[in-house]
Structure 1
Amino acid sequence: MLTARRHVMATAVALAGALLLASCGGSDGGSSDGRTLRLWHYEGPDSAMGAAWNEAVKEFERTHPGVRVEFEEKGFEQIQKTAPMVLNSGDAPDLMEYNKGNATAGLLSRQGLLTDLTAEAAKRGWDRKLSPAVRTTSVYDSKGVMGSGAWYGVPNYAEYTLVYFNKDLFRKHGVAEPKTLPELTAAMDAFVKDGVTPLANAGAEYMAQQYLYQLALSKADRSWVDAYELYKGKTDFHDAAWTYAAETFADWVKKGYLAKTSSSTKAEDAGVSFLQGKAPIMFSGSWWFGRVKAEATFDWGTFLWPGSDLTLGSGGNLWVVPKGAENKELAYDFIDITMSEKIQNLLGNKGGVPVAADPKAITDPRAKALIADFNALSEQDGLAFYPDWPVPGFYDVLVSETQKLITGSTQPDAYLDALQEAYDKGAPRR
């Protein structure tokens, strides 16, 4: 999630490819030994991850005199769509942020486009800093399936989805904070009655499909997730969980919980509608947390999706080192800095979910709650990854088919047929 994510962000804040150069060294601005670390990532500068990685660049330059960092900011969608082509060319960066999962990092590892980081993970202790739940997306087998095999990426933050709600709007409309799914439904009914569309939504990107996947997860268990994401069993899109999700989602559109016009809305627009106080509820990733904290001018809070032991989440997006990278050791050093306690603590206090921070160093109350909820999910094995991960190209299928469900141009049964066909076509034979 989305990622992100996602996130935005796992998010999909598509920032135009501005080229930012951070340099040190001689008076001419060049590096004394001619080396350059080319770095790509898609975190917005105001996000927790963006702030942490900017500080990591400064720390890298301080500890690597004479080396120039060339940072190019990319949009989430931009990297997702162009990475295979770029990594097959001579224009690959030394280090890049990339989405985790079978359909993305797994696919690139299977195609031989990423560097095997297994030895570095052991040498530098990255493997010992990550919990098993977070580490799942770092390793991929020969077929590009996550969960086992060699290390092809390192997540230095984690993420999960949660409900953001506008406390001021809830009070204005006399709606109590929901603790259960029936109470959430009642709250949405109350808003609709007052002429307010309760849910921020983005049908053109990841947000809509994540609503639907969460509905399915509320009727699922770990074996269901493992069958879908890791191919440890058969996935039937007409089972009870998927059927409930598709029918409930379509019903929510009919009831006005989700606007039909949101079929063409992007995640940025949905997030802004919440930040501007137009939508009282937004279900999305922790990657929005720092931005909501920085920009919301109203009283707000968060809670986990009620009535479900599972939610979307995982280790964050991965640092991957392209196979054709020219300065791999520099890339490893930069990853190491982002895993340091200093950067991890900063990440946590900015509203991210760090994987190796000192808990005592996190001072912000909302950030503490965010991290505590993630830790609880992780400990109960409640992270269920993301719906677009299982097979290459599935993200686009989910977007287009879920858009049809929003507009009413397809019905739940046909929607599930389309997902089954795309999934079966792309899933590897086990």
Structure 2
Amino acid sequence: MKSRKVTIGAAATAAAALVLVGCGGSDGESSATGSGGDVLRVWHYENPTSAMGVAWEEAMAVFEEETGATVEFEERSFEQIRTTASQVLNSDQAPDVLEYNKGNATAGLLASQGLLMPLDDAVAEYGWDEQLAPALQTTARYDERGIMGSGSWYGVPTYGEFVQVYYNVDMFEEAGVEVPTTLEEFEAVLATFTEQGVTPMAQAAGEYPTGQLWYQLALTKADRDWVDAYQLYTDEVDWQGEEITYATETVKEWVDAGYISTDATGLTAEDAGTGFINGTYPIFFSGSWWQGRFTDEITDYEWSAFLFPGAEMSPGSAGNMWVIPERSQNAELAQEFIDITMRPEIQALMGNSGGVPVDADPADITDERSAELIENFNTLNDRDGIAFYPDWPTPTFYDELNAALQELINSSLEPGAVQDQLQQQYEAGVADITG
């Protein structure tokens, strides 16, 4: 492969990043020329051995072979791109295409500032809208305020993510329980483990797992209209309604019943995940991003996963996106590159490497664990079941939700008071965004 790779340390400042980008290669030129006379400058922050890193490396090789252009790839950390984006993309040093985080406060903000190129014509030309399920398109489109869900296309996600129930197969067999297919059966499984002296759920309220569980419980009573109201501000959210009331009260009931330890208030997602890895807990409700780690680190028992029973929807979204800066010097080549990353063979490579491609043919996935993961993701997509994440509506709601659930778990606040507190915080944050 002809591409050059420039690695920038995680401690680099925004100003330093601009200097490095401006310098380009070691000869002081800002770009090199390939056999086709063109250079495509690509930034992303995926580990080279990750599913996305592997797939996109192959896509770069295919791009170079087919176009004769040279890929100039610069590896940036997530934090580097996040902190320097507005500054760099508003300069002549902007890359031609880069991976960027989806959401109102990230891609939406850049779109509203005029820093990202609208991709509506490219979407129509390449048919990317036909490859992406409706819910996956939500985070690719932004209105003039930068609010996701409508307006022009500003990005193209090539992978997805979602939350599911990981379980210890050996512990299930020893306890004499089977994979539940209804919420009632799931609670019966939790009760069986508790009766046998085992805390069934690996949880952490210091970070995301418990918030995602709370949201998943709300989704057992919700429909797409409720999700759109909560996430996209299409209507007022009833914080004393069935969805949120059931979620909040059920979390409290599960703590009181011993299904969730009160120690969760002081635990992180890493604590919960390693608790599942070392066999302390038989169940871990969390994201597909744990799949690769479980595959690598769990060696002394069998494990598998299933979608949360009793719900048509689950937390999840499209992954971060390819975006093209407004000041890209090779926008058409950037579109060609994005299209290559959406091809069946590249999507299959991502899937067989442990990722969740947005448009892979299940027949092309040969790895058994990857096939199971992708099947669950496709099931959610087929029933329009991707419902985003509970903290997305406002920039501060992640911390506010975690803090409220900590108080719920340690009995500092009753469920009704938790809902009142969250309502005030949610509505204040949404008002700041929508005006």
TM-score, scaled to structure 2: 0.81
Matched, 1:32 2:35: no
Structure 1 position 380, deviation (Å): 2.0
- Alignment equivalent of 1:199, drawn from 198, 201, 205: 201
Counterpart in 1 of 2:272?
270
Matched, 1:99 2:92: no
Amino acid at match of 1:133: A
Counterpart in 2 of 1:183?
185
Counterpart in 2 of 1:17?
10
Structure 1 position 429, deviation (Å): 4.8
Amino acid at match of 1:32: A
Deviations 1:224-273 (CA, angstroms, capped at 9, x unpaired): 11221222221011111101111111222233322333334333332232
Measured in 2, the distance between the counterparts of 1:108 and 1:323 equals 10
Measured in 2, the distance between the counterparts of 1:354 and 1:202 equals 28
Greater CA drift, 252-261 or 29-38: 29-38
Amino acid at match of 2:128: W
Deviations 1:145-182 (CA, angstroms, capped at 9, x unpaired): 32221011111122222111010122233333222222
Counterpart in 2 of 1:301?
304
User: Equivalences for 1:414-429 in 2 at 5 Å?
Assistant: 414-427=417-430, 429=434
Counterpart in 2 of 1:353?
356
Deviations 1:271-307 (CA, angstroms, capped at 9, x unpaired): 2322222221111222322332333222112111111
Measured in 1, the distance between the counterparts of 2:89 and 2:142 equals 20
Measured in 2, the distance between the counterparts of 1:205 and 1:329 equals 41
Measured in 1, the distance between the counterparts of 2:323 and 2:411 equals 40
- Alignment equivalent of 1:69, drawn from 39, 51, 73: 73
Greater CA drift, 256-265 or 154-163: 256-265
Counterparts in 2 of 1:420 and 1:256: CA distance versus 1, 3 Å: same
Counterparts in 2 of 1:226 and 1:329: CA distance versus 1, 3 Å: same
Gaps of 5+ in 2: 1-8, 13-24
Matched, 1:403 2:406: yes
Given that 1:104 and 1:389 are in contact with CA atoms closer than 8 Å, whether structure 2 keeps it comes out as: no
Measured in 1, the distance between the counterparts of 2:387 and 2:304 equals 23
Measured in 2, the distance between the counterparts of 1:96 and 1:200 equals 36
- Alignment equivalent of 2:128, drawn from 126, 129, 144: 126
Given that 1:40 and 1:72 are in contact with CA atoms closer than 8 Å, whether structure 2 keeps it comes out as: yes
Structure 1 position 328, deviation (Å): 4.7
Given that 1:156 and 1:354 are in contact with CA atoms closer than 8 Å, whether structure 2 keeps it comes out as: yes
Matched, 1:387 2:390: yes
User: Equivalences for 1:108-123 in 2 at 5 Å?
Assistant: 108-123=110-125
Structure 1 position 314, deviation (Å): 2.8
Given that 1:87 and 1:324 are in contact with CA atoms closer than 8 Å, whether structure 2 keeps it comes out as: no
Structure 1 position 71, deviation (Å): 0.9
Deviations 1:366-409 (CA, angstroms, capped at 9, x unpaired): 33333333333222222222212223332232233333333333
Measured in 2, the distance between the counterparts of 1:54 and 1:161 equals 27
Measured in 2, the distance between the counterparts of 1:385 and 1:261 equals 27
Measured in 2, the distance between the counterparts of 1:365 and 1:313 equals 22
Structure 1 position 60, deviation (Å): 4.7
Measured in 2, the distance between the counterparts of 1:225 and 1:264 equals 29
Structure 1 position 143, deviation (Å): 2.5
Given that 1:87 and 1:322 are in contact with CA atoms closer than 8 Å, whether structure 2 keeps it comes out as: no
Amino acid at match of 1:199: M
Structure 1 position 311, deviation (Å): 1.4
Given that 1:87 and 1:113 are in contact with CA atoms closer than 8 Å, whether structure 2 keeps it comes out as: no
- Alignment equivalent of 1:284, drawn from 286, 290, 293: 286
Measured in 2, the distance between the counterparts of 1:264 and 1:331 equals 45
TM-score, scaled to structure 1: 0.82
Measured in 1, the distance between the counterparts of 2:210 and 2:85 equals 26
Counterparts in 2 of 1:27 and 1:240: CA distance versus 1, 3 Å: closer
Matched, 1:234 2:227: no
SS at match of 1:288: helix
Amino acid at match of 1:374: F
Two-structure CA RMSD over aligned residues (Å): 3.3
Greater CA drift, 321-330 or 404-413: 321-330
Given that 2:98 and 2:323 are in contact with CA atoms closer than 8 Å, whether structure 1 keeps it comes out as: yes
Measured in 1, the distance between the counterparts of 2:110 and 2:26 equals 40
Counterparts in 2 of 1:222 and 1:62: CA distance versus 1, 3 Å: same
Deviations 1:180-207 (CA, angstroms, capped at 9, x unpaired): 2222222222323344322222323322
Given that 1:40 and 1:93 are in contact with CA atoms closer than 8 Å, whether structure 2 keeps it comes out as: no
Matched, 1:51 2:28: no
Given that 1:274 and 1:280 are in contact with CA atoms closer than 8 Å, whether structure 2 keeps it comes out as: yes
Greater CA drift, 87-96 or 103-112: 87-96
Given that 2:86 and 2:115 are in contact with CA atoms closer than 8 Å, whether structure 1 keeps it comes out as: no
Structure 1 position 423, deviation (Å): 2.0
Counterparts in 2 of 1:365 and 1:88: CA distance versus 1, 3 Å: closer
Of all paired residues, the percent bearing the same amino acid is: 50
Query: When the two structures are aligned, how many residues end up with a matched partner?
Result: 406
